[in-house]
Structure 1
Amino acid sequence: MALLLTGATVVDGLGNDPVPRGSVLVEGDRITGIGVDGPVGTETVDLDGLTLLPGLIDAHVHIGHSSEMRAVLNLELSVAERAADIFRTLRETLDAGFTAVRDCGGIDHGVLRTVARGLVPGPRIWASASPLVQCGGHGHLGSPFAPPDDTFHFRVRGLTAVGRISDGNDEVRKAARECFRQGASFLKMAVTGGVVSIADSLDDTQFTVEEIATAVAEAHARHTYVTVHAHNVAGIHNAVTAGVECVEHGTGIDEETAAMMAARGVSLVPTLAIAKVLEENFDQHGLPPQIRERVGDTLQGMTDGLLAAREAGVLVGSGSDLIGPRQDRRGLEIALKAKIIGAHEAIVSATSVNARIMRVADRIGSVETGKLADLIAVDFDPLTEPELFDDPTRVVLVVKGGRIVKDTRK
């Protein structure tokens, strides 16, 4: 049955002026008309007083890390409990208006299939499976007193994926191929130290240019790309030189680095939300206490990097990077970004720009005829009150693929 969403102010996700009292026609799983009436028998959905937007996209999630990290590392949780945490996070993500996500490490293709078959509710997922990490680098989980391959004790085939330790070109090549066997649609590498790390520093570089280039070659063979975790400019320079297409976090990007990224068409996905959440409530994540001091000034560093990248013309997306059992604040990323670049641009970054970065702009990310009918309605003006994206209850309607999956309109 066709749906006619009518009466709302329409924000199209492309940066165009809002359209008051607009209408969007949905037939099957697609948007088939804008500003039109529906055929005979069309179901009308009255959205008077609401704002209609494209479904939001979080381009940096870790759905597989939905349990308390310390409990996982200490092998205190059953597979059933970890699966329940993942399925809860998927439902909460969709309810918050995020109809698509890019998972940057932590889930196996079994989760993708489960959501795609409709067995559990959740967003569309593009995933990297296991991130590629070097021995002792960011993403190498577990005690330094245990053998390196003990990290695979945390992996549950069909459900979760952990960092694949890959040192040298041959190991990187094999690890990349295994990621694609796990259902990856792109590759993720850690090329610098990280905040949630034990045996490295944020100033460290990880992987050689040649190792990164090996992963890039494997990605290109699969007609896809590599994105990199990076918290310093030396690591970013290595990655850009090697041919990656996207940088996650981007702490400390300066004018020279931004120009280099722009010249080579490299995108940036800042992750302001996780830095803010760790600042506000570190204890809720179940992380080792020594991680607290590593949070440092990463929020300001990512903000500075975002501004430098934007000034240089780099495509800047939006990702939350939330981890642990409470991942209900994905909209905080939009709220924080709105303070820096304005509400409308922040919304565009979390919709059409993210879709471009993820190479799926032909399917999602905007309210346009022919796109998949992934749409949300909010009960506030997102251009004047973007901070309310941080409250999932203010998303009152969610449509995914033409089906209403949440409706709390009064």
Structure 2
Amino acid sequence: MGRLQVVGATVADGSGRDPVKAGVTVEDGRISRLGGSSTGTGERLDAGGLTMTPGLIDAHVHLGLSSPIEPQFSFRISAAEIAADIFATAGAALDAGFTTVRDTGGIDGGVVTTIAKGKVRGPRVLSCGPVQCQVGGHGYYGAEWEPTELWSNHHIPGLSALSMMSGNADELRGNVREAFRRGATFLKLCVTGGVVSAHDHLTDTQFTVEEIAVAVQEAAARGTYVTVHAHNNQGIRNAVEAGARCVEHGTDLDEATATLMATHGVALVPTFAVVERLLHDPAEAGLGESARERVLGVRERMAEALAVAKEAGVRVGLGSDLIGPAQDRRGEELTLRAELETPMEALVAATRTNAEILGLADETGVIAPGMRADFVLWNGDPLEDPKLFADPAAAVLVVQAGRIVKDLR
């Protein structure tokens, strides 16, 4: 893999410390040295005037929902086109500066291994495989007349599988074991209704504590964890009681529930970019106008939940939850978070904190000796102008595990 020296950059290392000008030396895919320029063989890259950050991490992606949603689940798009859209989205994630993503439902393990083999461009992908859902709950996008047992016909083996339906704890146990067989490395359950849903409301709770605990037990047996899609407090409390380790969205989180999460070490991943997109144009994602109506007020409530979570001491990560074809500006999530926090806090959430939530803190998330050489060079300073995070053209060079995977110099 060779040696790479980057000199002259202003380095924001992901720890939250003030940026400093420093050289970074990469050897065999890892950062070997920080400090002044060093001598030796290998490529030398002059990054004067550029800002270096760790490779960004998106803790809530849906690569398998890269086509227009309603046409995809009504058999109007071919498997070939769905595959093309998935791999285009994976490449766009790299181009936006994201070197690692956590897929929270929609792809089959075949996508993960294809990207990992280098056959298509994309970030490192951690996947839950299909989301685990209650019969008729969030995650089911079949027609109302379509029998539940036909839903699995929407799966494309090796490519996409959005969700699996369980009617009771025994079915859930079988389904999560099947998800692990397909390559899942963690589990995701929907424990409340959702915004992009046809058959429920955000106030609905789904799965009982006892049912969620079955998934937690199966995950623990494999040394991993459960995260949950949850908008309301009762759903969150059920999940925490059952042993889940992370909550996605958390729209209506209150102080008491945030304190409960903090006490149990449960993380939160808010998702603002998808809300912004659906408010702007749900048709862009291949959804009807009803999606806009369901998302009204969610942005303000989620912003309040973010503040409540931080005040309670909850570890707060960052996820975009983008769906549909328009997933090229993934960094918009950092721009939106920078408006609610400081740009540095948004960066730390998208790097060090997300690495902790994903169980990768000893591998990535900060620029330090011994870590994987995942980093981005930005044309300008996104900590001064956070809109740069949302502009893929501003990420002029992306390095993933020591390899230059994008170069606009």
TM range (shorter): over 0.9
Distance in 2 (CA, whole Å) between partners of 1:70 and 1:275 is: 18
Distance in 2 (CA, whole Å) between partners of 1:287 and 1:123 is: 27
Alignment of structure 1 residues 161-310 onto 2, 5 Å: 161-310=161-310
Distance in 2 (CA, whole Å) between partners of 1:128 and 1:225 is: 10
Secondary structure, in 3 states, of the residue corresponding to 1:64? Answer: helix
Q: In the alignment, what sits opposite 2:361?
A: 361
Secondary structure, in 3 states, of the residue corresponding to 2:126? Answer: strand
Amino acid at match of 1:117: K
Q: In the alignment, what sits opposite 1:19?
A: 20
Q: In the alignment, what sits opposite 1:331?
A: 331
Amino acid at match of 2:315: L
Distance in 2 (CA, whole Å) between partners of 1:152 and 1:287 is: 21
Contact 2:67-2:85 within 8 A present in 1 as well: yes
TM-score relative to the length of structure 2? 0.98
Query: How far does residue 354 in structure 1 lie from its aligned partner after superposition?
Result: 0.1
Aligned length: 408
Distance in 2 (CA, whole Å) between partners of 1:151 and 1:168 is: 17
Query: How far does residue 289 in structure 1 lie from its aligned partner after superposition?
Result: 3.0
| Stretch of structure 1 that moved more, 216-225 or 286-295 | 286-295
Query: How far does residue 363 in structure 1 lie from its aligned partner after superposition?
Result: 0.5
TM-score relative to the length of structure 1? 0.98
Q: In the alignment, what sits opposite 1:53?
A: 53
Contact 2:31-2:368 within 8 A present in 1 as well: yes
Contact 1:97-1:376 within 8 A present in 2 as well: yes
After superposition, the C-alpha distances for 1:20-76 in whole angstroms (9 at most, x for unaligned) are: 2x1110001111111143442121111110000100000000001100112112211
Q: In the alignment, what sits opposite 2:107?
A: 107
After superposition, the C-alpha distances for 1:189-216 in whole angstroms (9 at most, x for unaligned) are: 0000001110101100000000001100
Between the two proteins, what is the percent identity of the paired residues?
A: 52
Distance in 1 (CA, whole Å) between partners of 2:403 and 2:238 is: 44
Amino acid at match of 1:7: G
Contact 2:282-2:288 within 8 A present in 1 as well: no
Q: Which runs of 5+ in 1 are unaligned?
A: none
Distance in 1 (CA, whole Å) between partners of 2:218 and 2:39 is: 48
Distance in 1 (CA, whole Å) between partners of 2:275 and 2:402 is: 35
Distance in 2 (CA, whole Å) between partners of 1:65 and 1:264 is: 32
Secondary structure, in 3 states, of the residue corresponding to 1:158? Answer: coil
Distance in 1 (CA, whole Å) between partners of 2:362 and 2:201 is: 39
Q: In the alignment, what sits opposite 2:317?
A: 317
Q: In the alignment, what sits opposite 2:8?
A: 7
Q: In the alignment, what sits opposite 2:123?
A: 123
Distance in 2 (CA, whole Å) between partners of 1:378 and 1:292 is: 34
Query: How far does residue 140 in structure 1 lie from its aligned partner after superposition?
Result: 1.1
Distance in 2 (CA, whole Å) between partners of 1:148 and 1:291 is: 23
Q: In the alignment, what sits opposite 2:31?
A: 31
Runs of 4+ residues over 4 Å off in structure 1: none
Distance in 2 (CA, whole Å) between partners of 1:288 and 1:167 is: 28
Distance in 2 (CA, whole Å) between partners of 1:388 and 1:234 is: 38
RMSD across aligned C-alpha pairs, in angstroms? 0.9
Contact 1:12-1:366 within 8 A present in 2 as well: yes
Query: How far does residue 182 in structure 1 lie from its aligned partner after superposition?
Result: 1.1
Q: Which runs of 5+ in 2 are unaligned?
A: none
After superposition, the C-alpha distances for 1:79-123 in whole angstroms (9 at most, x for unaligned) are: 111100001000000000000000000111101110111000100
Contact 2:278-2:291 within 8 A present in 1 as well: no
Distance in 2 (CA, whole Å) between partners of 1:383 and 1:376 is: 13
